[in-house]
Structure 1
Amino acid sequence: MSQEKPLPEPWAPPAGSWASSAANRRSMLGNRNRDTSPELLLRSLLHAAGLRYRVAAKPLPSMRRTADVVFRPIRVAVFIDGCFWHGCPQHFVPPKTNPDYWRDKIGRNMQRDRDTDERLAEAGWQVLRFWEHQPAEECAEIVKVAVAARRSILLKR
């Protein structure tokens, strides 16, 4: 005979959780931090163009941040920023629930992006940032031109 499992307790967020509801928590946990559709499309175009790269890699070993696409030998780091998470001036709409939290969270993300750009530039990297809504074909062309330019500089050395 099988034993019946007890019914689950009413949902409550874990202590210290940012989630305001079970649905919000599920939604937030479902957000990808890599291999998003815009990233996959860009990577597919770059690969088809014969470019090889690292995915979700640290440009600098001492930095805890990763770029979406990294061309390590020529020091090009590519980031595809989500409109919500990085505060796109065109598409970002602040949530009505818990607005103070989200304003601070998105502000910190934007500040971290600028800090990352500065640290990589100081280390001799070229940083390319794209919004998720930008056409992948245009982004791929920009990346191809940047990679070719950096390679030609290295060959002249």
Structure 2
Amino acid sequence: MRVLAAARQQLLTSRKPTRPEIVLYAMLDDLVQQYAPDEAWERQVQLLNRWTVDAAIPGLKLVLQADGDYWHGLYEEDQSDPRVASNMRNDAHQDARLTAEGWRVVRFWERDLTGDRAACEARLTEELQNRMAEYLAELAASATAGRNKKAAHPEG
């Protein structure tokens, strides 16, 4: 099974990105540098030894997906295709599992990435700012807890 997973990961990372992925990656190049300069984003990242996501910022536990309109079921008439229905179930299961592990999953539709990049950039900016604020708050809380522990148990 590990061999199959490794082969699938190699296939995913070696293929050319889709048009929506190209737009997402360009947005990440622009916005991560601006709003989370100490963080790096990665493309085609395998998470939980199960799913390969389009992009992730591991330090912020942020996952970004560029969902194809047809294959991920944007339009109701496409949802009767068993392959699309299966993808939709997988997307919901993936979102639930990743969220349970502390990841924030953000999905962008193909039509939005290719037709309204400004709105997608605004949404991504908001997500980056929110995750950075949460990250900094966690660091501050951790530092405060460390200082409190030292004060309660001074050495010597």
TM-score of the alignment, normalized to the shorter chain, above 0.5: yes
Shift in Å at residue 33 of structure 1? 6.9
Cα deviation 1:53-93 (Å, max 9, x = unaligned)? 10010233x2x211111011111101111111111126x54
Of 132-141 and 119-128, more deviation after overlay is shown by 132-141
1:22-37 equivalence runs, <5 A? 35-37=17-19
Question: Mind listing any 5+ residue stretches in structure 1 that lack a counterpart?
Answer: 1-31, 95-101
Cα deviation 1:130-156 (Å, max 9, x = unaligned)? 110002332222122112211111112
Output the amino acid matched with 1:35.
Answer: P
> Of 79, 83, 93, which residue of structure 2 is paired with 1:105?
83
Is residue 60 of structure 2 the alignment partner of residue 79 of structure 1? no
Partner of 1:39: 21
Is residue 41 of structure 2 the alignment partner of residue 53 of structure 1? yes
Q: Percent identity?
A: 26
Aligned partners of 2:130, 2:122: CA distance in 1, in Å?
A: 12
Partner of 1:145: 126
Larger Rg over CA atoms: 1
TM-score (normalizing by structure 1): 0.65
1:34–1:68 Cα contact (<8 Å) kept = no
Aligned partners of 1:58, 1:140: CA distance in 2, in Å?
A: 24
Structure 1 runs (4+) deviating above 3 angstroms are none
TM-score (normalizing by structure 2): 0.66
Is residue 99 of structure 2 the alignment partner of residue 117 of structure 1? no
Structure number with the higher helix fraction is 2
Question: Mind listing any 5+ residue stretches in structure 2 that lack a counterpart?
Answer: 1-13, 139-156
